[in-house]
């Protein structure tokens, strides 16, 4: 959408060219495009370093310092490389909403532990977790890591609920909601009634449909 609106680029314009897209995955943590003999990649610093090393190249010495500086500031460093040469680092920064630390503290007083799950590197994750006020975090998490964390917490006798912002997490909802009684309501209402679930508003019918699909697929 950005390429279309800001630069006037459309998919049909790429048709005459030899272009192949490399999609991002939680395992590779890198994406890019091969375009008319050019290789463009962007992704996590260690993923790009591995890509460069695998092609007989190495990242510039100053790259680690730039990545560390961005991570310490709570940003997400994305390294960009073209034709197996690192070009620079993009600094992405999520804004922690005001009042989050206070709300997490209220949940803590209710006996609810919060764990942030992210694909960011450990340094970035630690900074964001500290800013947000969560109790713990899981960095560089793959879908398998997320599933394992939920199961591990449940095996310890804990009741688990998931607050999600990505489609991949939908597969985890039936597993995390086993034994959880819930009904749609606002976050403020959840706090007032001391519910074990906070901020998770999912239609009952939708959850049941997902539950059936996941069970039929044998995922749980």
pLDDT at site 31? 92
| Helical axes 122-132 vs 100-109, angle rounded to 10° | 80
The structural domains of the chain, with segments of one domain joined by +, span 2-92, 100-216
pLDDT at site 161? 78
The conformation of residue 95, written as its DSSP 8-state character, comes to P
pLDDT at site 56? 82
**Whether pTM exceeds 0.75:** no
The CATH label, of 3.40.190.290, 3.40.50.300, 3.90.550.10, 3.40.1110.10, for the domain at 2-92 is: 3.40.1110.10
The conformation of residue 143, written as its DSSP 8-state character, comes to H
- For 172-216, write each residue's pLDDT tens digit: 555 555 555 545 555 555 555 544 443 344 444 455 566 666 666
- For 55-91, write each residue's pLDDT tens digit: 788 888 888 899 999 998 888 899 999 988 899 999 9
Q: What is the CATH number of domain 100-216?
A: 3.40.50.1000
Q: Please say whether the beta carbons of 27 and 142 come within 8 A.
A: yes
- For 79-89, write each residue's pLDDT tens digit: 999 988 899 99
Distance CA 158, CA 203 (A): 23
């Amino acid at each position: 959408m950005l390429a279309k609106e800001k630069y006037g680029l459309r998919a049909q314009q790429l048709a005459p060219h030899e272009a192949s897209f490399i999609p991002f995955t939680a395992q590779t943590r890198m994406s890019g495009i091969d375009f008319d003999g050019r290789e463009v990649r962007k992704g996590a610093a260690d993923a790009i370093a591995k890509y460069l090393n695998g092609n007989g190249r190495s990242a510039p010495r100053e790259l680690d310092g730039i990545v560390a500086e961005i991570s310490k500031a709570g940003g997400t460093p994305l390294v960009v490389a073209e034709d197996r040469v690192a070009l620079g680092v993009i600094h992405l920064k999520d804004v922690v909403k005001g009042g989050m630390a206070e709300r997490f503290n209220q949940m803590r007083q209710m006996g609810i532990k919060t764990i942030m799950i992210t694909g960011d590197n450990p340094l970035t994750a630690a900074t964001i977790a500290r800013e947000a006020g969560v109790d713990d975090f899981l960095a560089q998490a793959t879908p398998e890591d997320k599933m394992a964390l939920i199961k591990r917490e449940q095996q310890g006798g804990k009741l688990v609920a998931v607050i999600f912002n990505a489609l991949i997490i939908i597969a985890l909802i039936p597993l995390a909601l086993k034994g959880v009684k819930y009904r749609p309501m606002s976050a403020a209402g959840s706090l007032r009634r001391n519910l074990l679930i906070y901020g998770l508003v999912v239609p009952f019918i939708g959850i049941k449909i997902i539950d059936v699909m996941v069970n039929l697929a044998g995922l749980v």
